[in-house]
Amino acid sequence: MTSKKSIITIFIALACISMYIIESYIKPTYAIKSLYKIILFAGLPLIYCALDKEVKFKEYFSIQDKRQIKSAVALGLVVYLLVQAGYFILKGFINLDNVVMVLENNLSVNKNNFVLVSLYISFINSLLEELFFRGFGFLTLNKFLPKRYSYAISAFTFSVYHVSILAN
């Protein structure tokens, strides 16, 4: 059990550290960075599932109860409305020209690929992060460890990963 906990934790840390290095030092275009993320966030759980026959990759996508879908959609709508409300409250403090400049200069996002990038972020990137941090990180750790440890590791690494992105 301890070795499984260690391997899973190392895989999560490896992915986060790798993405930090990619973001901070390699600084590829958004498309290349997204490819790295797909390889790490989907590849490492697939590799682990191939090594540990007790863990099945499809379990990360299983729905135990149809009420989960209703709850997820309702929660998603609430979060969407909160983000919209936050934007309207704070829009006077947001320099949209600076946002456009950062997107163009740092991520190679422009008016020609903006729709594609926003669809990727909304659907694929979100799914990858949920798969990796909640599916692989939480659910796999939770099979072998107390829930408290699983919550702590998945939440901590999710937070550190996002803080490191913002640091750039």
Supply the DSSP string of 37-79, one letter for each residue.
HHHHHHHHHHHHHHH-TT--GGGGG--S-HHHHHHHHHHHHHH
Whether 144 contacts 4, CB under 8 Å: yes
CA distance 106 to 66: 41
The CA-CA-CA angle for residues 61, 64, 70, to 5°, reads: 90
pLDDT class for 167, splitting at 50, 70, 90? low
- Quick one: average pLDDT of 148-167? 87
Give the per-residue pLDDT at 2: 64
- Quick one: average pLDDT of 51-75? 87
Unique residue bearing structure tokens 């750790």: 141
3-state secondary structure of 153: helix
pLDDT higher than threshold 70 for residue 168: no
Average pLDDT, the chain: 89
Q: State percent of the chain over pLDDT 70.
A: 98
The tens digit of pLDDT for each residue in 107-141 reads 788 889 989 988 998 889 999 999 999 999 999 99
Give the per-residue pLDDT at 30: 83
- Quick one: average pLDDT of 35-44? 95
> The tokens of 4 are what?
């499984």
pLDDT higher than threshold 60 for residue 1: no
